[in-house]
Structure 1
Amino acid sequence: MTGFKVIAGGERHVFSDLTTVMAAASPRRSGDELAGIAAASDAQRVAARRVLADLPLRIFLDQPLIPYETDEVTRLILDTHDRAAFAPVASMTVGEFRDWLLSYAATPEALRALAPGLTPEMVAAASKLMRNVDLVSVAAKTRVVTAFRTTLGLPGRLGSRLQPNHPTDDPIGIAGSTLDGLLYGIGDAVIGINPATDNVGACITLLAMLDELRERYAIPTQTCVLTHVTNSLEAIERGAPVDLVFQSIAGTEAANRSFGVSLSLLAEAHEAAQALKRGTVGQNVMYFETGQGAALSADAHHGLDQQTVEARAYGVARAFSPLLVNTVVGFIGPEYLFDAKQIIRAGLEDHFCGKLLGVPMGVDVCYTNHAEADQDDMDILMMTLGNAGVTFLIAIPGADDIMLNYQSLSYHDVLTLRHLLDKRPAPEFEDWLARMGLLDASGRLPPPAPDAAPVRRLLAQGA
């Protein structure tokens, strides 16, 4: 099959190949327009969706969007595809699959069993036929549970990454921001620092500081310095206390090469971290970050729309059984997601696609200061993701990252969402909060006053 034609609204539309159909069917976003692959009009977008809805799901197995011979991500996706798991939906079109996902038949158990049989392109295609509420509805019944020192993704739980970044990597400043976050019940997913300098020695210093803090207060969580995977490997060789290995990843071999990584390097890091056996309730040891537009910014998207390439990144992540994956949804900037409407849509797409593929999906609800968005818009995305069952959210002091210079969520925001939706932290972390006297009689965590007894007790223990 080399081309697709459809009459829509009395107009004849022609799409040269499957890649063109996928790009034209995507909701409008600035990155696809920058790449010159977006639909030329709303009418063309609807026509592309009509074509896509009638295509068989298995076309993505028969016609890879990037050739098998030239891309190791394509080879990974196709070589690990579970045809037995795919069998229940193998005869469906993309449109029929979309309808099935929204039906009562698509139970959490059915979706869990189906995940190994789905490719990133299949779930990306289905998402293009969905409204925002559809993305929320399906994601909300899709469960992905992982564990290291805490168990993440359980029903009724909302995890959080505590992000205490500092512009000079000052350990005292980082420790202060970390203590602040812990008092708000933040950090059950991970305490993770983006280092200001990509230096192995400085990385080890921060890892040691975080590990000492965790052990001093007996905190059931995991820590991570979000340095390059090669630095983490060297830190492991030097005996540093590495819980999770972090890496930014993308959906094509060429884009990953621009990050300085390959599938074999990720496999080496995964094996090295698992060999440390530092987990207590599980051994999911990888942490990946992604974001729409990364492949395009590296000129490594192969003509694919940015949402489809992003979904392929989750195919990479899935191969390494990560503890955490999150899309830094608005971080790259308005060149790729122009305004709040595009950021919100992308966050919901990414979360939906990741969870359907069996990936423990979180979101950094964020934007840059030159995007057409503000904190009210992030409130909408945060609350929508909370209802969609997001695995974890990222929180920073005052919602303002003073090192990376972008806007995210605050500790207070995640605490508010937990109260609003009656969500709790990971069970092991919640038990720790109770032991430390940070929960009230109803098991809730109110923002403590600076002179509250739990704060004095924590400070006394750390003296």
Structure 2
Amino acid sequence: MSYQILLGKRTYQFRDLKDVMAKATPQRSGDVLAGIAADNQEERVAAQMVLADLYLSEFLNTELIPANTDEVTKLIFDSHDLEKFKLISHLTVGGFREFLLSEKTDGSVLESIRMALTPEMVAAVSKIMSNQDLILVSQKIRIVSKFRNTIGLPGRLSVRLQPNHPTDDPKGIAASILDGLLLGSGDAVIGINPATDHVPTCISLLEMLDQIIQTYQIPTQSCILTHVTTSMEVMQKGAPLDLVFQSIGGTEELNKSFGINLNLLAEAQEMALSLKRGSVGNNVMYFETGQGSALSAGANFGIDQQTLEVRAYAVARKFSPLLVNTVVGFIGPEYLYNGKQIIRAGLEDHFCGKLMGLPMGVDICYTNHADADQDDMDSLLTMLGVAGCNFIMGIPGADDVMLSYQSTSFHDALYLRQVLGLKPAPEFERWLIDKGIFSNGKTFLPVENQMVQMFEREMRI
């Protein structure tokens, strides 16, 4: 079905829903690279006007990728709740925006319609929302997940302690862990991106993390961000694995390029659940996503990168994860060119993920060849804190020496907690107070030399 609209003296035509969605998207370099972006701002506004007038039911009558060739599309339609959809079926995309912004629409209302929403509906409404709109609606939504602590409660901000090392050196990793813990980071997860998928190395790192967590009774979880099949192999070998990690995407073809499918993820989830390592909950999956991944794999099917990103959230939602993290500026300027585009994408991803019911975190980051800097990241960091982001990254000096990109530091997390009055996960907060790292859960205090020496001795730094 084609669409057209008269704007001023010019008639704009769009060949189908896919075309409208792409051209309505706020400008980003990835869509320009794909040849699907609006030619100018006037065409973008025309597409947004057409999109705003479409009824939500239109998205149930159109498959952007046919379900008979794409298991992600099939999952989206199979999991859609038609009964719940009756509550909003009368709305256009523009009307849905007004519904979301209404003071009468609180978190409980949004939770009640969660399974009535398809990723395409969620992506569509985000395209006609301002940054302010995205923040306002996001802060209404609280998505709580649990493993050894409770993440996502109101007034809380968790941090993934990311102690990567270019050679997986245990001493270097341990030094970063010590730094992060003493600065109040690590309640989301202590998560290492290994330099390789070498199984013995992954097992060794998991054993080291488990020893630290058990020795100091830290109420947190560990993760080695390796391929799901490697995680399955280390579980089979008896390694102390807490969370299964995997990068995921919004098309079956993209997931094939990652070497995964839905059945494989389900199998890994069952293996992790069978270990019963959680103490307060059983959310055992950790997913990462990023706008532009489908285009980079040649698996975008002419669909804009933001819509495909939200389709990935349908995959994540199926597996009730503890953490979902959009690594928003990591893929590079070919997909998000500058700070403005990264900020917009980060707010979109966070909003869309939470609206779909995911415990969203954001890796507020950029590569060194992007037209962005740390001031841009400070702006996005603050906006996401106001929006109620579940967790952010904590990296020594905000500079990942293994992955070679810029992110957020342990001190950035302290800044955000201080300026917005946020606290760590409650179980982790109690541990910080008991160890004398925090006082009354608010003020950061230097740790006594005796405790530092104890950490150093046990970690063999």
TM-score with structure 2 setting the length = 0.98
The separation in 2 between residues aligned to 1:393 and 1:281, in whole angstroms, is 22
User: Where in structure 2 are the equivalents of 1:188-227 lying within 5 Å?
Assistant: 188-227=187-226
User: Where in structure 2 are the equivalents of 1:304-343 lying within 5 Å?
Assistant: 304-343=303-342
SS at match of 1:287: strand
Report how far residue 116 of structure 1 moved: 1.3
In the superposition, relative to structure 1, how do residues 453 and 418 fare at CA in structure 2: closer, same or farther (>3 Å)?
farther
Between the two proteins, the alignment pairs up a number of residues equal to: 460
Deviations 1:238-261 (A, max 9, x none): 000110000000000000000000
SS at match of 1:224: strand
Amino acid in structure 1 at the alignment position of 2:174: A
The separation in 1 between residues aligned to 2:384 and 2:175, in whole angstroms, is 29
Amino acid in structure 2 at the alignment position of 1:88: L
Report how far residue 437 of structure 1 moved: 1.1
Match of 2:452 among 416, 438, 455: 455
Amino acid in structure 1 at the alignment position of 2:289: T
Given that 1:216 and 1:462 are in contact with CA atoms closer than 8 Å, whether structure 2 keeps it comes out as no
The separation in 2 between residues aligned to 1:155 and 1:456, in whole angstroms, is 35
Given that 1:217 and 1:461 are in contact with CA atoms closer than 8 Å, whether structure 2 keeps it comes out as no
Report how far residue 58 of structure 1 moved: 1.4
The separation in 1 between residues aligned to 2:77 and 2:158, in whole angstroms, is 32
SS at match of 2:337: coil
Confirm whether residue 107 of structure 1 aligns to residue 110 of structure 2. no
Give the aligned partner of residue 442 of structure 2.
Answer: 444
Give the aligned partner of residue 245 of structure 2.
Answer: 246
Given that 1:9 and 1:43 are in contact with CA atoms closer than 8 Å, whether structure 2 keeps it comes out as no
Percent identity for Structure 1 against Structure 2: 61
Give the aligned partner of residue 268 of structure 2.
Answer: 269
Which segments of structure 1 move beyond 3 Å, counting only runs of 4 or more?
Answer: 451-454, 456-463
The separation in 2 between residues aligned to 1:182 and 1:158, in whole angstroms, is 15
Report how far residue 434 of structure 1 moved: 1.0
Give the aligned partner of residue 187 of structure 1.
Answer: 186
Report how far residue 275 of structure 1 moved: 0.9
Given that 2:21 and 2:51 are in contact with CA atoms closer than 8 Å, whether structure 1 keeps it comes out as yes
Deviations 1:320-377 (A, max 9, x none): 0000000000000000000000000000000000000001100000000000000011
Given that 1:112 and 1:143 are in contact with CA atoms closer than 8 Å, whether structure 2 keeps it comes out as no
The separation in 2 between residues aligned to 1:219 and 1:396, in whole angstroms, is 19
The separation in 2 between residues aligned to 1:435 and 1:7, in whole angstroms, is 65
In the superposition, relative to structure 1, how do residues 447 and 66 fare at CA in structure 2: closer, same or farther (>3 Å)?
farther
Give the aligned partner of residue 301 of structure 1.
Answer: 300
Confirm whether residue 37 of structure 1 aligns to residue 36 of structure 2. yes
Deviations 1:129-163 (A, max 9, x none): 00001000000001111100010110000011000
Give the aligned partner of residue 19 of structure 2.
Answer: 20
Unaligned 5+ residue runs, structure 2?
none
Report how far residue 282 of structure 1 moved: 0.3
SS at match of 1:161: strand
The separation in 2 between residues aligned to 1:437 and 1:425, in whole angstroms, is 15
Confirm whether residue 47 of structure 1 aligns to residue 46 of structure 2. yes
Amino acid in structure 2 at the alignment position of 1:439: F
Give the aligned partner of residue 85 of structure 1.
Answer: 84
Unaligned 5+ residue runs, structure 1?
none
SS at match of 2:210: helix
The separation in 2 between residues aligned to 1:445 and 1:305, in whole angstroms, is 44
Amino acid in structure 2 at the alignment position of 1:21: V
The separation in 1 between residues aligned to 2:259 and 2:300, in whole angstroms, is 16
The separation in 1 between residues aligned to 2:104 and 2:72, in whole angstroms, is 31
SS at match of 1:70: coil
TM-score with structure 1 setting the length = 0.98
SS at match of 2:253: helix
The separation in 2 between residues aligned to 1:222 and 1:60, in whole angstroms, is 39
In the superposition, relative to structure 1, how do residues 447 and 305 fare at CA in structure 2: closer, same or farther (>3 Å)?
farther
Give the aligned partner of residue 131 of structure 2.
Answer: 132
Amino acid in structure 2 at the alignment position of 1:203: C
Give the aligned partner of residue 230 of structure 1.
Answer: 229
The separation in 2 between residues aligned to 1:225 and 1:180, in whole angstroms, is 19
Given that 1:37 and 1:303 are in contact with CA atoms closer than 8 Å, whether structure 2 keeps it comes out as yes
Given that 1:163 and 1:192 are in contact with CA atoms closer than 8 Å, whether structure 2 keeps it comes out as yes
Given that 2:171 and 2:459 are in contact with CA atoms closer than 8 Å, whether structure 1 keeps it comes out as no
Report how far residue 387 of structure 1 moved: 0.2
Given that 1:185 and 1:445 are in contact with CA atoms closer than 8 Å, whether structure 2 keeps it comes out as no
Amino acid in structure 1 at the alignment position of 2:58: I
Amino acid in structure 2 at the alignment position of 1:274: L
Give the aligned partner of residue 391 of structure 1.
Answer: 390
The separation in 2 between residues aligned to 1:63 and 1:273, in whole angstroms, is 36
Deviations 1:53-110 (A, max 9, x none): 0101011111111111110000000001112222211111100001100001210111
The separation in 2 between residues aligned to 1:163 and 1:307, in whole angstroms, is 26
| RMSD of aligned alpha carbons | 1.1
Greater mean deviation of Cα atoms: 323-332 or 85-94: 85-94
Amino acid in structure 2 at the alignment position of 1:139: S
Amino acid in structure 2 at the alignment position of 1:238: K
Amino acid in structure 2 at the alignment position of 1:455: V
Give the aligned partner of residue 372 of structure 1.
Answer: 371
Deviations 1:201-228 (A, max 9, x none): 1111101110011101100000000000
